[in-house]
């Protein structure tokens, strides 16, 4: 009976580290766009602008 509190404390410590983790993987990481000459544009970037990555679904992050 004296070992029961020890096992309970051990379980709490073991599960405490896993509490903030999610089992679901995040979707594709999107860029934050709209700072220092960047903008979100639907489809391809306009001519003369550089493609940086994806802002959100169907939009690309472009640089002036």
35-61: pLDDT as tens digits: 888 999 999 999 999 999 998 888 999
Which pairs with CB-CB distance under 8 Å and at least 24 residues apart come from 35-44? 37/63, 37/64, 38/62, 38/63, 38/64, 39/64
Q: Which residue has the higher pLDDT, 6 or 59?
A: 59
9-36: pLDDT as tens digits: 776 666 665 555 555 555 556 778 878 8
Structure tokens at 54: 């994806």
Q: What is the pTM of this model?
A: 0.51
């Amino acid at each position: 009976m004296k070992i029961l509190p020890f096992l309970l404390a051990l379980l709490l410590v073991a599960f405490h580290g896993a509490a903030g983790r999610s089992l679901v993987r995040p979707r594709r990481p999107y860029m934050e766009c709209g700072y220092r000459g960047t903008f979100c544009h639907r489809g391809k970037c306009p001519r003369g602008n550089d493609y940086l990555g994806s802002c959100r679904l169907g939009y690309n992050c472009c640089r002036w």
